[in-house]
């Protein structure tokens, strides 16, 4: 290197000053990040309290419903259908989640009763009781979204635009139940 001790001293001090400057800048930016996090903390704590209240409400709803006794909502729906005296010809979960608004999504479960071998159409009041029971026994977690009724006439259904005598007040149906959640 150099044989002049003053030059060596100046070079070493310059290197130390550069390192000290980098450490100071890094510490300053980290302190700013901590300040921002500290300023944001009360707002985040309030959000966490709201989320915790929602989770507790959901847990209380689930605790009071029959959903916790079955493996899935489809199992509960099928159990309620049996208790109402019919067996659905179709019972499935819609594979797609339906966006409702923002981060709220809806999972849909579809129940069908069609004119298949061994099934009979149901009166409207029994279909309404079935929908009410699903909402009641799920403790409000499953809601009736859509009900599509098709009046049954005689041994077959009537095609659109054709006239036929109405024999009874029974229906085949498709009911959609939904469960909304935040994703």
Cα–Cα distance, 118 to 115 (Å, whole number): 8
Cα–Cα distance, 30 to 76 (Å, whole number): 53
pLDDT at 32 over 90: yes
pLDDT tens figures, 90-124: 899 988 888 888 888 888 999 998 877 667 888 88
**Which pLDDT value is given to residue 26?**
93
Asked which of 9, 34, 64 is the last residue of a domain, the reply is: 64
pLDDT band at 51 (very low <50, low <70, confident <90, very high): confident
Asked which of 46, 64, 82 is the last residue of a domain, the reply is: 64
Q: Taking phi first (over 0 means left), then psi (-120 to 50 degrees means alpha), and beta for anything else, what does residue 108 get? A: beta
CATH code of the domain in which 158 resides: 3.30.70
pLDDT at 1 over 80: no
- What 122-130 contacts at long range (C-beta under 8 Å, 24+ apart), as own/partner pairs, is 122/86, 122/170, 122/171, 122/172, 122/173, 123/169, 123/170, 123/171, 124/149, 124/169, 124/171, 126/84, 126/85, 126/86, 127/171, 127/173, 127/175, 129/84, 130/80, 130/81, 130/84, 130/86, 130/175
Q: Are residues 43 and 101 in the same domain?
A: no
Domain that includes residue 32, residue range: 1-64
Q: Are residues 169 and 154 in the same domain?
A: yes
Q: The pTM is what? A: 0.60
pLDDT tens figures, 128-178: 999 999 998 888 888 999 999 887 765 555 566 666 655 567 888 899 999
**Which pLDDT value is given to residue 69?**
62
Q: Which residue has the higher pLDDT, 75 or 69?
A: 75
**What's the domain count of the chain?**
2
Q: Are residues 37 and 92 in the same domain?
A: no
pLDDT band at 67 (very low <50, low <70, confident <90, very high): low
Q: Are residues 80 and 149 in the same domain?
A: yes
Q: Are residues 96 and 166 in the same domain?
A: yes
Cα–Cα distance, 170 to 158 (Å, whole number): 13
- Say which residue the tokens 């959903």 belong to: 67
């Amino acid at each position: 290197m150099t044989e002049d001790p003053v030059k060596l001293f100046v070079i070493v001090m310059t290197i130390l000053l550069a390192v000290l400057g980098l450490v100071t800048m890094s510490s300053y930016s980290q302190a700013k990040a901590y300040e921002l996090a500290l300023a944001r903390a009360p707002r985040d704590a309030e959000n966490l309290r709201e989320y915790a209240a929602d989770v507790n409400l959901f847990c209380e709803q689930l605790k009071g419903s029959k959903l916790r006794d079955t493996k899935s909502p489809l199992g509960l729906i099928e159990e309620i259908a049996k208790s109402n005296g019919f067996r659905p010809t179709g019972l499935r979960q819609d594979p797609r989640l339906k966006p409702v608004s923002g981060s709220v999504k809806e999972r849909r479960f579809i129940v069908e009763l069609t004119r298949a071998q061994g099934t009979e159409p149901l009166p409207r009041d029994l279909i309404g009781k079935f929908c009410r029971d699903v909402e009641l026994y799920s403790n409000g977690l499953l809601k009736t979204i859509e009900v599509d009724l098709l009046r049954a006439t005689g041994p077959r259904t009537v095609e659109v635009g054709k006239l036929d005598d109405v024999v009874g007040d029974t229906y085949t149906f498709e009911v959609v139940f939904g469960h909304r959640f935040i994703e």
